[in-house]
Amino acid sequence: MLKKMLENNINVVNEVSNWEEAIKIAATPLKEGGFIKEEYIDAMVENVVKNGPYVVIMPGLAIPHSRPEDGVLKTGMSLLKLKESVKFPEDKDVELLFVLAANDSNMHLQLISELTNLLMEDDAMEKLSSAKSKEEVLACIC
Amino acid sequence: MEKKNMRSKVQAFGGFLTGMVIPNMGAFIAWGFITALFISTGWVPNENFSKLVGPMISYLLPLLLAYTGGKLVASERGGVAGAIGTFGLIVGADIPMFLGAMIMGPLSAYIVKKFDEMIEDRIPTGFEMVINNFSLGIIGLLLCLFSYSLIGPVILQANKAITVVIEGLVKTGYLPLLSVINEPAKVLFLNNVIDQGIYYPLGMQNTLEAGKSIYFMVASNPGPGLGLLLAYSLFGKGTSKKTAPGAIIIHFLGGIHEIYFPYVLMKPKLIISMILGGASGIFTFSLFNVGLVAGPSPGSIFAYLALTPKGNFIGVITGVLVATAVSFLVTSLILKSSKETEEEFEESVKKSKEMKQEGKGVLNSALEQNEVSNSPINFVAFACDAGLGSSAMGASAFRKRVEKEGLSIKVKNFAIEKVPEEADIIITHKSLLDRTSRAWPNKRIITIENFMKDKNIEKLLEELLEKKQKA
User: pLDDT tens for residues B141-167?
Assistant: 999 999 999 887 887 788 788 888 888
Which one of B384, B392, B452 has the shortest CB-CB distance to A54? B384
**Strand, coil or helix: B28:** helix
What is the Cα–Cα distance from B83 to B85, expressed in whole angstroms? 6
Residues A50-61: what's their mean pLDDT?
86
User: How far B128 CA sits from the closest chain A CA (Å)?
Assistant: 29
Q: What is the pLDDT of residue A45?
A: 93
Nearest 5°: the CA angle B63, B65, B70 is 95
| Higher per-residue pLDDT: B226 or B368 | B226
- Per the annotation, the verdict on B384 as an active-site residue is yes
Which residues touch B309 (CB under 8 Å, ≥6 apart)? B211, B212, B291, B292, B293
Nearest 5°: the CA angle B238, B244, B246 is 125
A57 neighbourhood in chain B, CB within 8 Å = 390, 393-394, 450-452
A58 neighbourhood in chain B, CB within 8 Å = 450-453
Q: What is the pLDDT of residue B228?
A: 95
φ and ψ at A15, to 5 degrees? -155, 160
Q: What is the pLDDT of residue B205?
A: 82
Percent of chain B with pLDDT over 70: 88
Q: What is the pLDDT of residue A99?
A: 94
User: How far A15 CA sits from the closest chain B CA (Å)?
Assistant: 24
Which one of A53, A57, A109 has the shortest CB-CB distance to B451? A57
Confidence of residue B343 (pLDDT cuts 50, 70, 90): low
Average pLDDT over all residues of chain B? 83
DSSP B275-311: HHHHHHHHHHHHHHT--BSS--SS--HHHHHHTPPTT
Q: Walk me through the domains of chain B, giving residue ranges and CATH numbers.
A: 48-171 (no CATH), 173-358 (no CATH), 376-470 (3.40.50.2300)
Q: Would an 8 Å CB–CB cutoff place A117 in contact with chain B?
A: yes
Q: What is the pLDDT of residue B373?
A: 54
Residues B49-77: what's their mean pLDDT?
91
Q: What is the pLDDT of residue B10?
A: 59
Percent of chain A with pLDDT over 70: 99
Confidence of residue B369 (pLDDT cuts 50, 70, 90): very low
User: How far B393 CA sits from the closest chain A CA (Å)?
Assistant: 6
Residues B83-107: what's their mean pLDDT?
89
Structural contact between residues A54 and B432, judged by C-beta atoms closer than 8 angstroms? yes
Using alpha carbons, select from B408, B446, B424 the residue that is nearest to residue B374: B424
Instruction: Decide if the complex's ipTM is over 0.95.
Output: no
Q: For B432, what's the count of Cα atoms within 13 Å in the CB-facing half-sphere?
A: 33
Q: What is the pLDDT of residue B163?
A: 82
Q: Tens digit of pLDDT for each residue in A116-142?
A: 888 888 787 888 888 888 888 888 886
Q: What is the pLDDT of residue B11?
A: 57
Q: What is the pLDDT of residue B127?
A: 73
Beta bridge partners of A88: A92
Nearest 5°: the CA angle A47, B418, A50 is 15
For A:43-62, CB contacts with B below 8 A are 47, 50-55, 57-59
- Least CA distance to A47: which residue of chain B? B385
B45, B228, B429 from B19: Cα distances, Å: 34, 19, 27
Q: Across chain A, which distance is largest between two alpha carbons, in Å? A: 36
Using alpha carbons, select from B383, B248, B400 the residue that is nearest to residue A115: B400
Q: Would an 8 Å CB–CB cutoff place B360 in contact with chain A?
A: no
Using alpha carbons, select from B429, B381, B430, B415 the residue that is nearest to residue A66: B415
- The count of residues in chain B is 471
Question: What single letter denotes the amino acid at residue A98?
Answer: F
pLDDT at B48 over 50: yes
What is the Cα–Cα distance from B180 to B170, expressed in whole angstroms? 12
Structural contact between residues B234 and B242, judged by C-beta atoms closer than 8 angstroms? no
Q: Would an 8 Å CB–CB cutoff place B5 in contact with chain A?
A: no
pLDDT at B346 over 90: no
Considering Cα of B243, then B248, then B250, then B256, what sign does the dihedral take? positive
Q: What is the pLDDT of residue B248?
A: 93
Residues A35-55: what's their mean pLDDT?
90
Q: Tens digit of pLDDT for each residue in B391-417?
A: 888 888 898 888 888 888 889 888 888
Structural contact between residues B163 and B198, judged by C-beta atoms closer than 8 angstroms? yes
DSSP A37-86: -HHHHHHHHHHHHHH-STTEEETEEE-----GGGTBSS-EEEEEEEEEEE
Cross-chain residue pair B396–A116, CB shorter than 8 Å: yes
Q: What is the pLDDT of residue B14?
A: 66
User: How far B394 CA sits from the closest chain A CA (Å)?
Assistant: 8
Asked if the bond preceding B298 is cis, omega within 30° of 0, the reply is yes
Confidence of residue B370 (pLDDT cuts 50, 70, 90): very low
Q: What are the percentages of helix, strand and coil residues in chain A, rounded to 5?
A: 50, 25, 25
What is the Cα–Cα distance from B327 to B186, expressed in whole angstroms? 15
Residues A99-114: what's their mean pLDDT?
83
Confidence of residue B356 (pLDDT cuts 50, 70, 90): very low
Residues B181-196: what's their mean pLDDT?
80
pLDDT at B2 over 50: no
Nearest 5°: the CA angle B63, B19, B228 is 95
Q: Would an 8 Å CB–CB cutoff place A67 in contact with chain B?
A: yes
A59, B167, B263, B445 from B456: Cα distances, Å: 16, 56, 37, 11
Confidence of residue A107 (pLDDT cuts 50, 70, 90): confident
Q: Tens digit of pLDDT for each residue in B235-246?
A: 887 778 888 998
Q: For B393, what's the count of Cα atoms within 13 Å in the CB-facing half-sphere?
A: 30
Cross-chain residue pair B390–A112, CB shorter than 8 Å: no
What is the Cα–Cα distance from B198 to B200, expressed in whole angstroms? 6
Torsion of CA B456, B461, B462, B466, to 10 degrees: 140
Which residues touch B43 (CB under 8 Å, ≥6 apart)? B36, B37, B254
Q: Would an 8 Å CB–CB cutoff place B434 in contact with chain A?
A: no
Q: Would an 8 Å CB–CB cutoff place B431 in contact with chain A?
A: yes
Q: What is the pLDDT of residue B8?
A: 58
Q: Tens digit of pLDDT for each residue in B13-30?
A: 666 777 888 788 888 888
Burial class (CB in 10 A: 0-12, 13-18, 19+), B458: exposed
Confidence of residue B98 (pLDDT cuts 50, 70, 90): confident
Q: Would an 8 Å CB–CB cutoff place A102 in contact with chain B?
A: yes
Structural contact between residues B181 and B256, judged by C-beta atoms closer than 8 angstroms? no
Nearest 5°: the CA angle B145, B147, B148 is 60
Of the listed ranges A9-13, A104-108, B78-82, B218-222, the one predicted with least confidence: A104-108
DSSP state of B369: -
For B293-436, strand residue ranges (E) read 379-384, 410-415, 425-429
Cross-chain residue pair B389–A100, CB shorter than 8 Å: yes
Cross-chain residue pair B388–A68, CB shorter than 8 Å: yes
B74, B332, B362 from B114: Cα distances, Å: 10, 40, 21
Cross-chain residue pair A67–B388, CB shorter than 8 Å: yes
| H or E element at residue A94 | strand A92-101
Confidence of residue A25 (pLDDT cuts 50, 70, 90): very high
Which residues touch B174 (CB under 8 Å, ≥6 apart)? none
pLDDT at B364 over 50: no
Q: What is the distance in angstroms between the CA of the first residue and the CA of the last residue of chain A?
A: 9
What is the Cα–Cα distance from B389 to B148, expressed in whole angstroms? 53
Q: Walk me through the domains of chain A, giving residue ranges and CATH numbers.
A: 2-140 (3.40.930.10)
